[in-house]
Amino acid sequence: MKEHRPRVALVTGSSRGLGRATALELAARGHTVAIHYVASAGPAEAVAEEVRAAGGHAATFGADVADAGACAGLLTEVVGELGGIDVLVNNAGITRDALALRMKHDDWQGVLDTNLSSAFHLSKGALRGMLRTGWGRIVNVSSVVGIMGNVGQANYVAAKAGLIGLTKALAREYGAKGVTVNAVAPGFIDSDMTAGLPEALRTAYLAQIPLARFGEPAEVAKAIAFLASDDAAYVTGQTLVVDGGLVMP
């Protein structure tokens, strides 16, 4: 009888921040985790070592997911080393902010390629294995700005809104095959990005959040882990907003 392996989770952009927290949370729940990075091999290996120190299993993989060919190569490497991909968390993202009239084409395209197109290419590749096993979870990390918009981030907002649309399309296409596809839309989360906010701007943002604080990466990671679990078997095509009440329909 073939030995059953632990579920494998690929988390893109997991050398730091929200991706790191998600990788650690999934590892704590028994997943073998593929830690992905673009240029930060050292931090990625540190995350993998943290997983191993806690008794889990992890491996690191480098790839520029803005490139479709690199996405295919990443999937091949993960499957070859870890045996498959059961959970895909599309978290990789960059920002190149500017007002629309000042935004360069390369800054528009770069953000779309990294934040949105990568999720399509990786999902397309990972789905093949998920359909063979009849079980899979895809979680796309969007943002509240993809719902409400934001000044100076036309590229980022378009990409994050696109992830929500992609989520719904894939959920409808593959739900009957045992694959759920959902999105998480974080609000303001304590991170390298928010740490650099001017105090006046930080105070203004906090005033709009009913819970009166920024979120922690681990709080978003737990939401992602729920959507990746058997407990969320009847949840698909949804966007779970984790923002302290900032955005309310």
Nearest to 27 by CA among 45, 1, 48: 48
Please give the backbone phi and psi of residue 27, each rounded to the nearest 5 degrees, phi first.
Answer: -65, -40
Q: CA of 27: how far to CAs of 21, 32, 54, 92, 108, in Å? A: 10, 6, 9, 18, 34
Catalytic residue of the set 156, 174, 205, 234: 156
State the residue for tokens 């870890």. Answer: 82
Sign, CA dihedral 190-191-195-201, equals negative
Q: Would you call 156 a catalytic residue per the annotation?
A: yes
Nearest to 58 by CA among 6, 98, 105: 6
Q: Which residues are catalytic?
A: 156
